[in-house]
Every structure is written in C-alpha cells, then in structure tokens.
C-alpha cells in the first residue's frame, strides 16, 4: 500500500466547516458522514481522523496523526512539541480576561487575589506569573462565561471574537492574553514520503490562499492612456492587452490585491478606464 498522510480535524465545532472547506478547495474529497471517526480521500494520499480539538495536539505529538488543524490557543494550552506548518487565517479569536461590566477596571493588578474561571489554566497561569499576580484558577471545560453570574468566580479568561457572548452575560473584556487562528500543525517525525505529500498539500493551500487574497480585473481603456493604466495594475508578469473591435480601445486584464481594489478602481477611472469588472480568483499559482 502506498503511503498516506493522516490529517486530524475537529469532528464538530467551530473549526470543522472551515477545515473541511479548505481541504475541498485543495481538490481533496473528504467524506465525513455522520458518526465517522476516520475516512480516506478518494483522490489524494490522505486519511482523516475526526477528533475533539483538545485531543489533536496530543495525537500529532504521538505520531498517531501526521498533521492536524487546531486553534493556536489549544496548541499553546496543550504545550506539545509539534511544528506549526502554516497559519490558516480562519477561526480568528483572542483569549481574554473579562470582568463584570459594572466593576471599575483599575489595570492588571485588578487580577491579584481574585478567582478566575477558564478552560485555559496553563496559558492563564503563565500570564499571571509573568505579571507577578496570584489568582485562584477554576478550571472548567465549558460555559465559562456564566461563572461570575453563578458566583463561581470573580472573572473569566475565555475566547472572544465579537464580544457578544460577554455582553449578554454582563461582562466586559479588559485584557487580551493572546490572538489565535487555526493553524496546520505537523509531527516533526514524518518520513520522506509523507513530507512529499505535505509539500503537495502546502502547494495547494498556498494557491487557495493567494487566490483569496487577489482579484482578477478586466477593463476597457483608450489606447492613449494604456501606459498609465498598465502602471496602475502591473499584474503578475504584466497585464494582458487585447484590441477591442472599436478602433482606439483595448481590453486590459490583470490581477490586483483584494485590499487595494477600491483605490485602484478610482485611479483607473481617473485615467479613462471603463467597463471595469473585478472577479474572484479560485486558485492562483505564482
Ligand atoms: P470540541 O468538542 O472539539 O472539544 P470545543 O467546544 O472545545 O470543541 P469550539 O467551540 O468548537 O471548541 O472551538 C474550537 C476552536 O475554534 C477554538 O479552540 C478556537 O480556536 C476557535 N474559536 C473558539 N471560539 C471562537 C470564536 N468565538 N470565534 C472564532 N473562533 C473561535
Ligand atoms: Zn475542545
């Protein structure tokens, strides 16, 4: 049997959909039917393990899985010796300290000798030590945000993205311990065949990510402003310029960064460009 790489992804939760989407965008078929714990890709040498996210760093560290997709927060909390192969840019959130919103926040010393509920005791303890604070850590595995309301703790240390969960529980965020996003982690002990499969996977992930960060732009331009227009949208190598059926006009095609297109469009219009189309790119290989 030829070598396969084993990728551990979260069975169900906030990471699952985006992890599966990334794999599918890489052209890899994944069948995660209900209740399945493992499956094999039909068209790529990859096997999947569907696990709780907390277990993923351990499985990768032990070599049961070669790769895993997990939040940086869980990776840091578990403290396993595995490599971050790639930042994946989704499931962005932060691990923060929050207190009841009616309390006055006086600075970091607020947390000296208070009780704090969290699912991240290791990261929290390191933060307290670094700031010479003593606090009583209550480790709980879920619904941390209700702890102050039920009298279990004075404050919480939990994941935040929009802050709406904190708000509905009468809490306010006062310190950020870390920023997190999903990462691809890998075992440091992969054999040569697995490393080669990983390279193929990374090539595809890069093509997906580069595609997402760029847009394809098409426009019509009067020939006498072509030089200026080309200098605004230089493209990957150089823009494609095709003559239009109307005399004196050309169609220009190029690629621009996702974050810059409004400014680029304004500059193009100022140079006489018309009929500007900006379309998403599915994959991009530079
Ligand atoms: P499991 O059952 O697998 O243990 P869980 O309940 O521990 O799941 P989820 O709530 O699904 O975990 O969160 C998984 C990961 O998603 C978190 O570790 C974090 O990296 C990220 N995450 C958590 N909360 C948010 C959020 N509000 N916004 C974006 N990403 C988040
Ligand atoms: Zn979990």
Tell me the whole-structure pTM to 2 decimals: 0.91
**pLDDT tens sequence across 86-121:** 999 999 999 999 999 999 999 999 999 999 999 999
Confidence of residue 1 (pLDDT cuts 50, 70, 90): low
For the chain, which domains are there? 5-89+181-211 (3.40.190.10), 93-180 (3.40.190.10), 214-280 (3.30.70.120)
Whether ligand 1 lies within 6 angstroms of the CB of 214 is answered as no
Which ligand 1 atom is at minimum distance from the Cα of 142? 6
Whether ligand 1 lies within 6 angstroms of the CB of 9 is answered as no
**pLDDT tens sequence across 31-56:** 877 788 999 998 999 999 999 999 99
Which ligand 1 atom is at minimum distance from the Cα of 14? 11
**Residue among 9, 89, 91 to mutate when testing ligand 1 (max atoms within 8 A of CB):** 91
Give the closest ligand to the alpha carbon of residue 14: 1
The string of DSSP letters for 177-228 reads EEEE-EEEEE-TT--HHHHHHHHHHHHHHHHHHHHHHEEEEEEEEEGGGHHH
């Amino acid at each position: 049997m030829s070598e396969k790489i084993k990728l551990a992804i979260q069975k169900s939760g906030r990471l699952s959909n985006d992890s599966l989407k990334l794999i599918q965008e890489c052209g890899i078929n994944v069948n995660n039917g209900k209740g399945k714990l493992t499956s094999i890709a039909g068209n790529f040498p990859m096997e999947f393990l569907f696990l709780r996210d907390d277990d993923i760093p351990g499985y990768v560290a032990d070599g049961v899985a070669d790769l895993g997709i997990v939040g940086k927060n869980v990776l840091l909390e578990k403290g396993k010796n595995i490599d971050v192969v790639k930042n994946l840019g989704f499931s962005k959130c932060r691990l923060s300290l929050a207190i009841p919103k009616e309390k006055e926040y006086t600075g970091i010393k607020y947390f000296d000798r208070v009780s704090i509920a969290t699912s991240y005791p290791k990261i929290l303890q390191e933060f307290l030590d670094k700031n010479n604070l003593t606090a009583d850590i209550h480790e709980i595995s879920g619904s941390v945000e209700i702890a102050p309301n039920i009298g279990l703790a004075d404050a919480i240390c939990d994941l935040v993205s929009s802050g709406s969960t904190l708000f509905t529980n009468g809490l306010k965020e006062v310190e950020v311990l870390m920023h997190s996003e999903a990462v691809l982690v890998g075992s440091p002990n992969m054999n040569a065949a697995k490393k080669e499969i990983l390279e193929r996977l990374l090539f595809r992930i890069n093509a997906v990510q580069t595609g997402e960060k760029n847009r394809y732009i098409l426009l019509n331009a009067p020939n006498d402003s072509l030089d200026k227009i080309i200098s605004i949208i230089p493209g990957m190598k150089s823009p494609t310029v095709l003559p239009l059926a109307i005399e004196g006009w050309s169609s220009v095609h190029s690629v621009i960064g996702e974050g810059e297109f409004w400014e680029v469009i304004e500059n193009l219009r100022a140079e006489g460009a018309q009929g500007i189309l900006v379309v998403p790119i599915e994959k991009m290989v530079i």
